[in-house]
């Protein structure tokens, strides 16, 4: 599947410092598009958005490759989301 053009926009936003967590990502690339590219159903991506600690490392690496950022950077996005969603 060819990546959606919005992933390249998200990459530019990340490199410019405007994409810091999943909320920012999903403002640029809808959750349904991310879900489709990762092979998830919409409910799973909603649950992962609400509970970022449940992400699987391989899925994060794939998401990072869609946005064209490395695995450490995508982990930072998830950590920022965890800080934003206190329990």
Supply the CATH number for residue 26's domain. Answer: 1.10.260
Q: What pLDDT, on the 0 to 100 scale, is given for residue 3?
A: 72
**Count of structural domains, the chain:** 1
Q: What pLDDT, on the 0 to 100 scale, is given for residue 4?
A: 84
Helices 71-84, 57-67: axis angle to 10 degrees equals 110
What does the DSSP assignment read for 16-40?
Answer: HT---SHHHHHHHS-HHHHHHHHT-
What is the token pair recorded at 82? 């965890």
Q: What pLDDT, on the 0 to 100 scale, is given for residue 87?
A: 62
**Which residue range(s) make up the domain with 34?**
5-84
Q: What pLDDT, on the 0 to 100 scale, is given for residue 68?
A: 93
| Residues with pLDDT less than 50, the chain | none
- The sign one gets for the Cα dihedral 20, 26, 31, 37 is negative
Query: Does the reported pTM lie above 0.85?
Result: yes
Q: What pLDDT, on the 0 to 100 scale, is given for residue 42?
A: 94
13 vs 49: CA distance, rounded Å: 19
């Amino acid at each position: 599947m060819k990546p959606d053009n919005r992933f390249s926009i998200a990459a530019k936003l990340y490199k410019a410092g405007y994409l810091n967590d999943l909320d920012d990502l999903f403002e640029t690339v809808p959750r349904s598009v991310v879900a489709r590219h990762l092979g998830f159903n919409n409910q799973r991506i909603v649950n992962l958005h609400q509970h970022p600690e449940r992400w699987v490392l391989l899925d994060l690496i794939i998401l990072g490759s869609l946005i064209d950022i490395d695995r450490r950077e995508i982990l930072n996005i998830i950590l920022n989301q965890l800080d934003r969603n206190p329990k």
